[in-house]
Amino acid sequence: IYFVTANTQHRAKILAMPAVHKGLQSFAESGPNHGAWLGRYVLMPDHVHAFVALDARKISLSAWIKSLKNALSKALRESAIESPHWQKGFFDHVLRSAESYSQKWHYVRENPVRAGLVSRWEDWPYFGEPLLSNTGNCRKL
C-alpha cells in the first residue's frame, strides 16, 4: 500500500470543492478495472493525500498518479479553473504494516483541523473511505 501526496501548482487552493470530490470518487470506482484500489483519502484545498494499492502487473504508481491528476484536472477544467493545476512529481511512502497505515491515516485525517478549516475532522466534506472490490469481495483498504 502506498501513501501519496500531490500538490497543486503554486499551492493554489482549488481542490476542496464538490466537483473535484466527485471526480475523485468516479476515478476510484474505475480503478479496479486498471489494477488500482483507492483507500482512504483527504482532499485539501491545495493538495491531496491518498492511500492506494496497485497491481504492479497492470499499472505503476507514477502512471496511477498521472491518471489521478488528469481526472481531477478534468473536473477543474469543467469548473472553469485553468491549467496548470499540479506541481510536477509527488511524494510517496510504502506502508509496511496495518499499524503504519493507521498512524498515517490518523495524522492525515486531522489536516483540515490543523489548517483551521473545521473543528472536527469528521466535519470536513472532502474525505472518503471507498469500499473496494477485489474479485467480488468488498473490503476496505
Query: How many CA within 13 A on the CB side of residue 30?
Result: 9
Predicted confidence at residue 136, as pLDDT, reads 36
pLDDT of residue 3: 95
> So what's the pLDDT on residue 131?
53
- Which residues of the chain, if any, have pLDDT below 50? 132-141
Question: DSSP 3-state assignment of 116?
Answer: coil
Residue 135's pLDDT is what? 34
Say what the pLDDT of residue 130 is. Answer: 79
- Cα–Cα distance between 84 and 76 in angstroms, integer? 10
Phi and psi torsions of 37, nearest 5°: -125, 110
CA separation (Å) from 41 to 24, 27, 125, 126? 9, 12, 11, 8
What is the per-residue pLDDT for 99? 73
Would you state the pLDDT for residue 69? 97
Judge residue 61's burial from the number of C-beta atoms within 10 Å of its C-beta, 0-12 exposed, 13-18 middle, 19 or more buried: middle
Measure the CA–CA gap between 119 and 90, rounded to whole angstroms.
Answer: 28
How much is the pLDDT for 37? 94
